[in-house]
Structure 1
């Protein structure tokens, strides 16, 4: 298991940007997707999984009713993937999972919840280039055709038209990284991407355990969170930027002015 426990901001910084040099183009271009969680024990579970109950059966009902009541002008194209992206973005439980290209944004989500400052946080990083080498041929050919490393919703729609087709076209499980359409500034500012799996009941971390060469899990000790949080705020990685509007502004101000003594350490 590729699990690293960091001891300092500088060590954390080095780990987040490790192996980002690309000899072929002579540039620092990371091929990693990041996800930050406030508790190292949290699993990589989708919002659909966290719904509980017979969530795999409920998935189609959730999406059908979302499409029925949502304003159709909100979606770029009438495909299941565009609808899923819109639904996930607005809080509907889906099989999509949020990731980001930015390690700093992942750090924000690992340190934004002051109620979890008494426990270790975690940053998951996954090499999406290597993960996509394990895709079914139809998907790999589409990426090659477009000269892309990550799918767009339009590209994914051209490969598979509905959720029920996903398990039938691959050999075993696989993990797809896809960029959402730029619905609003929140998606743009968070440098967002999603993952999707053909099996809605399989945890992403269970799949990753089968492919240890693809990922790292960086453990952030609780005692380091305040330093990280303060440095991110100084770098303008805050709710005010990542959630544009009055709600994000209010969340930032509430957290920024919360007394440290209320949360220990």
Structure 2
């Protein structure tokens, strides 16, 4: 694994990539080989950790987006859901939010780094975020909530017990630096379950997560996937059944998988 000047790591081959993605050690107490990382795959290494809300270049519209989503989606959402569940559901169905998508599965992240065949000539990347270390920066009330539940990620209900809306969440940092919440969404459908999904949430809707992480290099790593490896990775993921058919259960996923799977290799490389 080559270390680049910016601190990111560049995989040299498939085995090199596996070794880095699964480099975590057994837990010091229970001895299980369970990662504390979340993973985000991007098909271009140039992409930043930018939320969908940032991409519309109008972050002050956040409360209006959520209020109107809640109003117009009344026929399909629960009446008693809290604001965090509403935010997670809105993100899941494509509303621009400050949430950023991650997965607990490095292979799901690899899928998203290699699924767009139009970008096979570009290097991709997998961002690896250490959830436990990120949560070291939490205010005490948030840390106490995790400790009470013996959990290292929040659920929407756990987070709601600490603070029940975005304004209170943002103000809870006080004079300190922004902090990050790692939030496991409710399992509202098979897609969330199959993607082993997680969201990150920052106390600043205008700040990119990679800009925050610059001050905390021990909290993450970025693994570059050379374009020359993408086809091999893609084919091996397909053989392991990590593909659109699994990621997006239903006819849409089957169609997307077949379209990519049957695309001529020369078109993928052109």
| TM-score normalised by L of structure 2 | 0.95
State the partner residue of 1:10: 15
Aligned-pair CA distance for 1:72: 5.2
> Against the structure 1 CA distance between its residues 244 and 76, is the aligned structure 2 distance closer, same or farther, given a 3 Å change threshold?
farther
Deviations 1:128-174 (A, max 9, x none): 00110111111001101111100001111111111111221112201
State the partner residue of 1:188: 193
Per the alignment, in what secondary structure is the counterpart of residue 195 of structure 1? strand
After the TM superposition, which residues 35-114 of structure 1 pair with which residues of structure 2 at under 5 Å, given as runs?
35-52=40-57, 55-71=58-74, 73-75=76-78, 77-114=80-117
Aligned-pair CA distance for 1:179: 0.2
**Aligned counterpart in structure 1 of residue 180 of structure 2, from 170, 175, 182:** 175
Return the alpha-carbon distance in structure 2 between the equivalents of residues 20 and 251 of structure 1: 36
Native 8 Å contact 1:2 1:215 kept in 2 = no
State the partner residue of 1:121: 124
Structure 1 residue ranges, 4+ long, deviating more than 4 angstroms after superposition: none
Return the alpha-carbon distance in structure 1 between the equivalents of residues 7 and 75 of structure 2: 44
1:215 and 2:216 matched: no
Aligned-pair CA distance for 1:126: 0.8
> Against the structure 1 CA distance between its residues 107 and 77, is the aligned structure 2 distance closer, same or farther, given a 3 Å change threshold?
farther
Per the alignment, in what secondary structure is the counterpart of residue 156 of structure 1? helix
Deviations 1:9-39 (A, max 9, x none): 0000000000242232111011000000000
Structure 2: any 5+ residue segments left out of the alignment? Answer: 1-5
State the partner residue of 1:166: 169
State the partner residue of 1:156: 159
Per the alignment, in what secondary structure is the counterpart of residue 202 of structure 1? coil
Native 8 Å contact 1:4 1:217 kept in 2 = yes
Deviations 1:74-121 (A, max 9, x none): 238431111000000000000001000000000000000001101100
Per the alignment, in what secondary structure is the counterpart of residue 95 of structure 1? coil
Native 8 Å contact 1:32 1:125 kept in 2 = yes
Per the alignment, in what secondary structure is the counterpart of residue 232 of structure 1? helix
Return the alpha-carbon distance in structure 1 between the equivalents of residues 7 and 191 of structure 2: 31
Return the alpha-carbon distance in structure 1 between the equivalents of residues 20 and 200 of structure 2: 22
Deviations 1:192-241 (A, max 9, x none): 00000010000000011110010000000000000000000000001011
Native 8 Å contact 1:106 1:123 kept in 2 = yes
Q: How many pairs were matched up?
A: 263
